[in-house]
Chain A
Amino acid sequence: EAGVTQFPSHSVIEKGQTVTLRCDPISGHDNLYWYRRVMGKEIKFLLHFVKESKQDESGMPNNRFLAERTGGTYSTLKVQPAELEDSGVYFCASSQVPGLEQYFGPGTRLTVT
């Protein structure tokens, strides 16, 4: 069974540009989560989808971040316009049931210069 996949693995962009991160969850997992780790800090929650609906977006830092999950399959996280403080590693995770363990992808390392 394929795990959670993320694309790209690494992205370097300039301040003010736009970047879109993609996550493909484990097949059959309705629950999809986005997290990020900024340098030296713990991994922090961004938002949670159940199928195509946003269940919890309390961790989204501001309106420069837009997450979508059209059709309830893969998800995208767009940052527009990117700022220096957006640099970090963005992880996607999925779970079959919300209270069970979440399976993480390898992450996308975003560097904003």
Chain B
Amino acid sequence: EDQVTQSPEALRLQEGESSSLNCSYTVSGLRGLFWYRQDPGKGPEFLFTLYSAGEEKEKERLKATLTKKESFLHITAPKPEDSATYLCAVQATSGTYKYIFGTGTRLKVLA
């Protein structure tokens, strides 16, 4: 069964304290892995797409990487405005285009 697991569930960082969020996945074949940011009361906001192992994408303080079994979202020198829930989703090659989501990591960055 296709599955996505994110860790940790919650993370508190001091402003400027870098860290990484993990997304491990089990799918028959990976079509793509997607990272989203979600603020309270809002819909998920697209961040990155990764398609193959070894691929990396960067945007401001965020960098996403992909291996054959997991993806990391690295946050460098975070600011309070980076506080949000970060969601990972995968699309499998099994013929449909649905997202399989993890439960997310709630990040709180303290000033």
Chain A residues in the interface with B (C-beta under 8 A): 4, 31, 33, 35, 41-45, 48, 55-56, 58-59, 91, 93, 95, 98-107
A56 contact set on B, CB distance < 8 A:
96-98
**B73-89 residues at the A interface, CB under 8 angstroms:** 87, 89
Q: How far is the CA of A106 from the CA of B44 in the complex (A)?
A: 8
In the complex where A56-B96, A100-B49 touch, is A42 in contact with B43 (Cβ < 8 A)? Answer: no
In the complex where A42-B104, A101-B49 touch, is A35 in contact with B99 (Cβ < 8 A)? Answer: yes
**Selected contact of A31 from candidates B34, B41, B97, CB within 8 Å:** B97
**Selected contact of A43 from candidates B32, B41, B46, B101, CB within 8 Å:** B101
Nearest CB to that of B5 among chain A residues?
A42
Secondary structure at the B interface, as helix, strand, loop or mixed, is strand
A35 contact set on B, CB distance < 8 A:
99, 101
Count class of interface residues, chain B: 20 to 34
- What does the 1/0 interface line of B17-46 toward A look like (CB < 8 Å)? 000000000000001101010000111111
Q: How far is the CA of A107 from the CA of B40 in the complex (A)?
A: 11
**Selected contact of B46 from candidates A45, A99, A101, A107, CB within 8 Å:** A101
Chain B min CB distance to A1 (Å): 14
Chain B min CB distance to A98 (Å): 4
Chain B min CB distance to A73 (Å): 19
Chain B residues in the interface with A (C-beta under 8 A): 4, 31-32, 34, 36, 41-46, 49, 87, 89, 91, 96-104
Check B97–A104 contact: CB distance below 8 A. Answer: no
Nearest CB to that of B87 among chain A residues?
A43
Chain B min CB distance to A51 (Å): 14
Q: How far is the CA of A98 from the CA of B95 in the complex (A)?
A: 11
A93 contact set on B, CB distance < 8 A:
43
Chain B min CB distance to A44 (Å): 7
Q: How far is the CA of A58 from the CA of B103 in the complex (A)?
A: 20
B98 contact set on A, CB distance < 8 A:
33, 45, 48, 56, 58-59
